Chain A
Amino acid sequence: MNHQPIDNYEEKQLRQLFRQQAPKHIDVEHAWQHIKPIIQQKQAPTKGKTIIMFKHSTHQHRTPWKRIAAIAAVAVLALSIMAAGVSFFGLMNTFKDDHRALAINQVLNDPNMYTKIDQTQTQGEYTVTVDRAYIDKSVLMIVFNLMKTPSGHTAQPDKVTINGDEPKPQGNVGACDASTATKQRCMMAFQKLPNDELNDVVEITITFKSLNGGEVLTFTFNLDVQTENPIQDLQQNDDPWVVPEE
């Protein structure tokens, strides 16, 4: 630690000042008697922090709290980012679902887009009429009515196949509304099967399940559907938030 600095006036004065101000008499023995039992407790070296508060100490060991605060802050930040992400994607999905539902609703209410089918089949107390349909490269949509006699039990759609395969429902569209006590109007949309060629004639099978104990009814229709005006064009060019009146 020995070196020979080039002193100027301030440096000489600093040395003199510190020499004057440094305490001359320090009671080492008294301090040792105080610290000796603490040292004896520490014979085994430890890695952890030790909190020792001396009588006059104003020094708070704040490092553990700082660390906890930092970890908590990072955790809160991470949770906030995750929550923001979940909210964003949830909002986007909701928007997409709503968008899709509105677009489907718009298609099936626009005579220029859907194909009028009007095919009817009856089995026992139930009559199914496929009213209209729409098909393009990615989606198949149908609107049909289910009517029953007043004595018949209520039934609901259980399964739909397109050309023998079961498609995946598209969005959240698939509900049936009971127009009257004996009539339900259903509007359903499905993702078109990826390997299914775009034929105008589609065989669609609708299976109904009676709610009184499992009576199953199956109706099969061959639909001759126009494939013009794909829905993608509609979504790009029209305002999906505007629902046209029938």
Chain B
Amino acid sequence: MNTRSEHDPTLIECWLQGEEHAVRTIFSIYYPRAVRLAVLNGLSSDEAQDCAQNAFVRAFEKRRQLRNTQAFPLWFQRIVSSQIMNHFTATKNRAISLTTIEMEDIEIPTQGATLDEHMIVQESLIKLNQNIQKMSPLMRMVLILRYHEDLSLPEIAHTLGKREGAIRVILHRALKQLREQRQQQDNSFQMPTYQDSHTVIPSTAYGGAHKR
């Protein structure tokens, strides 16, 4: 179905015209990205899919506002981010829940690493994840856009409708906060046992997002 590249200039034009094959292709490219962004921000699987679908419908409705077809990825990213932030506003920034995974789902980061080394890495990721969940939705969103979506600071600023300086400050504070929390946790570090890590490792088990 996805026979054309997202960089095909005529694809967005056809989408603007409402041609079904182009709409279908755009959906297949950008819907998974939107769902990933929503899940990383802490939405549940169903919420993330609703959010992504809602963003896609909204983008389709407002497609006449898109002046430059080259700007479509960032324009759509902005709509998705807005939907996610609205979700947190509507749900009063409720705390997001951590999910657990099975040990066999964990990626082995380095070939030839020992089990102990692997466990240490995973333990640090667990703590990092816990620290991220404690952040405000905006701070978490900035981190995700920067380190998962690989957006530049001006692009993040445009996506979130804020000034570049504000984004730079938020990012700096977020990294500083994570660094300080890691140092505090390192001071009271104890080697985890296999049983400890088996029960608290956070989500990579999104598991296919079978909606409805």
A residues engaging B (CB < 8 A)? 1-3, 5, 8-11, 13-28, 30-32, 34-35, 38-40, 42-43, 45-46, 50, 52, 54-60, 62
Contacts and interface: CB of A to CB of B under 8 A. Distances in A.
Nearest to A33: B212
B200 interface: no
A57 B208 contact: no
A35 B149 CA distance: 25
Nearest to A5: B146
A28 B90 contact: no
A35 B53 CA distance: 7
Given A13-B124, A34-B53, A42-B61, A1 B32 contact: no
A30 B57 contact: no
Interface centre among B28, B87, B211 (most CB of A within 10 A): B211
Interface of B: 18, 20, 23-24, 27-28, 31-32, 35-36, 39-40, 44-47, 49-54, 56-58, 60-64, 73-74, 83, 86-87, 90-91, 106-107, 109, 124-125, 128-129, 132, 143-144, 146-152, 155, 175, 178-179, 182, 202-204, 206-212
A54 B50 contact: yes
B62 A25 contact: no
B125 A59 contact: no
Given A17-B129, A26-B31, A50 B150 contact: no
A57 B206 contact: no
Given A50-B61, A60-B90, 9 more contacts: A1-B150, A14-B178, A21-B203, A23-B32, A23-B35, A32-B27, A39-B57, A52-B54, A55-B212
A59 B58 CA distance: 14
Main secondary structure of the interface of B (DSSP, over half): helix
A185 B186 CA distance: 101
B62 A45 contact: yes
Contacts of B50: 54-57, 59
Contacts of A9: 179, 182
A201 to B, nearest CB: 81
A27 to B, nearest CB: 6
17 contacts: A14-B128, A16-B109, A18-B148, A20-B204, A21-B202, A22-B148, A27-B210, A28-B27, A28-B31, A28-B32, A30-B211, A32-B24, A35-B56, A40-B20, A55-B46, A56-B50, A60-B90
Contact of A42 (B57, B74, B129, B149): B57
A13 B124 CA distance: 8
A32 B24 CA distance: 7
B151 to A, nearest CB: 6
Contact of A1 (B46, B73, B86): B73
A38 B57 contact: yes
Contact of A56 (B47, B56, B73, B151): B47
A58 B148 contact: no
Contacts of A50: 57-58, 61
A100 B94 CA distance: 65
A15 B57 contact: no
Interface centre among B44, B144, B149, B209 (most CB of A within 10 A): B209
